[in-house]
Amino acid sequence: MPPVFAPPVPFPYALPSSCEGYQLAMPNSAFAAKIVRDFVGALLRTGAHAGLADDARLCVSEVVSNVYCHTRSELVRVEVLVGREEVAVHVTNDHTGPLPEPLVRPEGEGGRGLLVVNGLAASWGSSTRKVKARRTKTVWFVLTEPEPEPGTEADCRVGAAEPGNETRPDAAPAPAPAPH
């Protein structure tokens, strides 16, 4: 999917108002990618989006690593917006240079981070804006839960596979509650 370059309103990608937001700010250091990766992974694994945790960890790690490698920003700010069906992650820094081109160099290990984000995210992009006296750049991406495969939707219901929720074909229906 090609990147989307759009102005923030107030963020580059807005989820419905029913989402939960989480923020983390830290120094732009060699440890920032690991800290953010662990934060996002723990957040998603404890909520309704455990299936997106690995992709989110990989994408946020790539974006935060780009901040460390390609900017002189003192801080990295991360916002995670968790909606019912999707997760949006915004990584903001104080650098407004151009987005690094996703160059693949066969002899090198670098240059593939945004290609990874492009392959995993439902959408992604970047924007710049002026906040007080400084300009910031935000790279954002959105991950969505995969559509259930045909014939498995009933098996994906919450609680369907939990012990005690099984229905045997020979089981009698549960009795109706007695009137009060």
DSSP string spanning 18-78? T-EEEEEEEE-STTHHHHHHHHHHHHHHTTTTGGGHHHHHHHHHHHHHHHHHH---SEEEE
Is residue 30 situated within a structural domain?
Answer: yes
Is residue 56 situated within a structural domain?
Answer: yes
Is residue 61 situated within a structural domain?
Answer: yes
Q: Which helix (H) or strand (E) holds 84?
A: none
User: What are the pLDDT digits (tens) for 110-154?
Assistant: 667 888 999 999 999 999 888 777 889 999 999 998 877 676 554
Is residue 60 situated within a structural domain?
Answer: yes
Is residue 153 situated within a structural domain?
Answer: no
Range of the domain at 120: 4-9+23-146
User: What are the pLDDT digits (tens) for 56-111?
Assistant: 999 999 999 999 988 889 999 999 999 988 999 999 998 666 655 555 556 666 66
Is residue 90 situated within a structural domain?
Answer: yes
What average pLDDT does the segment 149-164 reach?
50
Separation between Cα atoms, residue 114 and residue 102, nearest integer Å: 6
Is residue 180 situated within a structural domain?
Answer: no
Is residue 14 situated within a structural domain?
Answer: no
Domain count, the chain: 1
Residue 92's CATH number: 3.30.565.10
Separation between Cα atoms, residue 152 and residue 61, nearest integer Å: 32
User: What are the pLDDT digits (tens) for 6-51?
Assistant: 434 344 455 555 789 999 999 999 999 999 999 999 999 998 899 9
